[in-house]
Structure 1
Amino acid sequence: MLVHAHPDDETIGTGAVMAQHAAAGDGVTLVTCTLGEEGEILVPELAHLASDRDDGLGAHRIGERDAAMKALGVTDARWLGGEGRYRDSGMAWDEATGAATAAPDIPANAFWHADLREAADHLVAIIREVRPQVLVTYDQFGGYGHPDHVQAHRVATYAVALAATASYRTDLGEAWDVAKVYWTAQSESRLREGLRRLRASGDTTTFEGMDPDGDLSWMATPDALISTVVTAEEFADAKLDAMRAYPTQIQVDGPFFALSNNLGAFIWGTECFRIAKGAAVAGPDGVERDLFAGID
């Protein structure tokens, strides 16, 4: 089970792992917390969908997520609390500190404002129904500080604990203890290498302001903290196809994506995680290579 904040987050961070396990016949359940109504629209002819115009981006991104899941082979994709229950909170960007809430007047139903217990209960019901052995979400910083990523971390963490408590909300199903919980991670060494390759290719605008040799602590995880590295290069193409399903959010004809196509397996075929519950089972190289390692 994967708990993500907005449509496209799942593909960018965990698309290869999702495709890998779907192809193996394992149950893969995606829970998305918002419709991503506040996302930046990269397709000029769809600019009218913006929240300050027609406010139709969320509905549009439902279709994008459906197409992405088809590309990854995932058939169980859900919305936390139901479609549109929680709204994208938006964000402000600071290259030095990452993302933060955009304004104090975000809507009352913004995910950032969600009651933690109520939101967690929606996820408790799904966990007890699906009974996943592994759950993947963000770290306490939400990867790069986005308030909805932070909230997804809080909701997932609380829901895992509540779902395992036999005396809690028996109306939500029989208790289930998730064996392993992982936080997604951006490897510092891989991010620096990717940035160096971008700059060497002549691209100085993508991730502008991010110095391959500068401070990336707000964006990357030191490699020493990463417990698990899953290499699924054979599913890099499926991940790229799923990314193409999000044209409003990802510039498929931009220099970064073009370079990504040339370096597909390097950039997209490997995904990194931090173990947050359970024990990582390291291989000969000292790194765990399978999210299900050690689970009977």
Structure 2
Amino acid sequence: MGAPSVLFVHAHPDDESLWTGGTIARIVEAGSATSVLTCTWESGTPRHTELTSALRILGVDAPIALGYADGGFPESAPQSAALCECRFDDAVRQIVEHIRILRPDIVVTYDAYGIYGHPDHIQTHRLALAAVEAAACGPLYPEAGPAWQARSLYLSTVPTRVMHRIRHQVSAGPPAAGAVSPGTPEAAIDLELDVSAWVEQKWSAIGAHRSEMDRSPALVELAALDVARRNALLGTEWYLRRDLVAGGADLV
């Protein structure tokens, strides 16, 4: 059997590069048919254009855009609902249609906390998991095509120790009193993927998101790090693995 086909489901342009860019570059090089679905920022908006450039760097064709609005930026899709306010069933149906067309062996999205608690990330996690289950159920959304069973889900996450390191090196300051500490305990992580050989490609893809590089304090701090420290932060990506059929599918 050849390399598995993989669908990444992300909330915003830049998430695909920042959290999974090394994985994307690595599996594309290994021959995986790879697609990226992004829930917010409709086609033609500046950040969608940046996303297309970033994916080109990573070796992926144009993104699939659901076209919902980013919760903080109504201009991202002026005629559409914000992702967290959309009709859940409508969004699930959209993702199901793409799953049934693409027939991925693996679907990748965020962990249940959206890595660090972003509401759009959490919503995307919920939508993706619901869609993977629904895509395998023929009586649901029959108009979306024949049922398709993905073999495994991979949930992008970050170890708690690395979250502490990120907060120390690139966040704007200490967490507020009583704030939830994000991150996954080391023992719960199923896959620690070395992407150091693709870290320059990953950083170039992150840099293609120019508007976020200019706007985000965390990305500004990341860009200010010396290359060795930045590469150390970006050179590993982590996942929780959930097999949906016996044996599942390896991401690498």
- Please provide the CA RMSD for this pair: 3.0
TM-score relative to the length of structure 2: 0.83
Count of equivalent residues: 238
Residues 68 and 246 in structure 1, CA contact (< 8 A), matched pair in contact too: yes
One-letter amino acid of the structure 1 residue matched with residue 40 of structure 2: T
TM-score relative to the length of structure 1: 0.72
Larger mean CA deviation between 138-147 and 233-242 belongs to 138-147
- In structure 2, how many angstroms separate the alpha carbons of the residues matched to 1:58 and 1:166? 34
User: Taking structure 1 as reference, are residues 279 and 267 closer, same or farther at Cα in structure 2, changes over 3 Å only?
Assistant: farther
Q: Encode CA deviations 1:175-210: one digit per residue, 9 max, x unaligned.
A: 1111111111111122334555x3xxxxxxx41333
Matches within 5 A, 1:56-135: 59-80=45-66, 84=67, 86-90=68-72, 109-135=81-107
Residue of structure 1 in register with 2:112 after alignment: 140
User: Taking structure 1 as reference, are residues 19 and 280 closer, same or farther at Cα in structure 2, changes over 3 Å only?
Assistant: farther
Structure 2 counterpart of 1:30, from 31, 36, 39 = 36
Larger Rg: 1
Matches within 5 A, 1:214-233: 217-233=180-196
Q: Secondary structure at the match of 1:137?
A: strand
Larger mean CA deviation between 233-242 and 169-178 belongs to 169-178
Q: Encode CA deviations 1:135-173: one digit per residue, 9 max, x unaligned.
A: 111122222222211111111111011100122222211
Residue of structure 2 in register with 1:48 after alignment: none
Residue of structure 2 in register with 1:46 after alignment: none
One-letter amino acid of the structure 2 residue matched with residue 88 of structure 1: D
One-letter amino acid of the structure 2 residue matched with residue 3 of structure 1: V
Residue of structure 1 in register with 2:207 after alignment: 244
- In structure 1, how many angstroms separate the alpha carbons of the residues matched to 2:227 and 2:201? 12
Q: Secondary structure at the match of 1:263?
A: helix
Residue of structure 1 in register with 2:19 after alignment: 13
- In structure 2, how many angstroms separate the alpha carbons of the residues matched to 1:187 and 1:140? 14
Structure 2 counterpart of 1:210, from 174, 180, 193 = 174
Larger mean CA deviation between 180-189 and 8-17 belongs to 180-189
Q: Encode CA deviations 1:46-77: one digit per residue, 9 max, x unaligned.
A: xxxxxxxxxxx971111110110111111152
One-letter amino acid of the structure 2 residue matched with residue 119 of structure 1: A
Question: Post-superposition shift, 1:116?
Answer: 1.2
Percent of aligned pairs sharing the same letter: 30
- In structure 2, how many angstroms separate the alpha carbons of the residues matched to 1:184 and 1:138? 5
- In structure 2, how many angstroms separate the alpha carbons of the residues matched to 1:215 and 1:265? 31
Report the structure, 1 or 2, having the larger helix content.
2
Larger mean CA deviation between 217-226 and 128-137 belongs to 217-226
Unaligned 5+ segments in structure 1 are 37-56, 92-105, 199-205, 282-289
Unaligned 5+ segments in structure 2 are 1-6
Structure 2 counterpart of 1:183, from 132, 137, 155 = 155
- In structure 2, how many angstroms separate the alpha carbons of the residues matched to 1:24 and 1:260? 30
User: Taking structure 1 as reference, are residues 225 and 107 closer, same or farther at Cα in structure 2, changes over 3 Å only?
Assistant: farther
Question: Post-superposition shift, 1:90?
Answer: 2.1
One-letter amino acid of the structure 1 residue matched with residue 240 of structure 2: R
User: Taking structure 1 as reference, are residues 116 and 110 closer, same or farther at Cα in structure 2, changes over 3 Å only?
Assistant: same
User: Taking structure 1 as reference, are residues 123 and 255 closer, same or farther at Cα in structure 2, changes over 3 Å only?
Assistant: closer
Question: Post-superposition shift, 1:246?
Answer: 1.0
Q: Secondary structure at the match of 2:45?
A: helix
Q: Secondary structure at the match of 1:152?
A: helix
Residue of structure 1 in register with 2:3 after alignment: none
Structure 2 counterpart of 1:150, from 91, 110, 122 = 122
User: Taking structure 1 as reference, are residues 154 and 250 closer, same or farther at Cα in structure 2, changes over 3 Å only?
Assistant: same
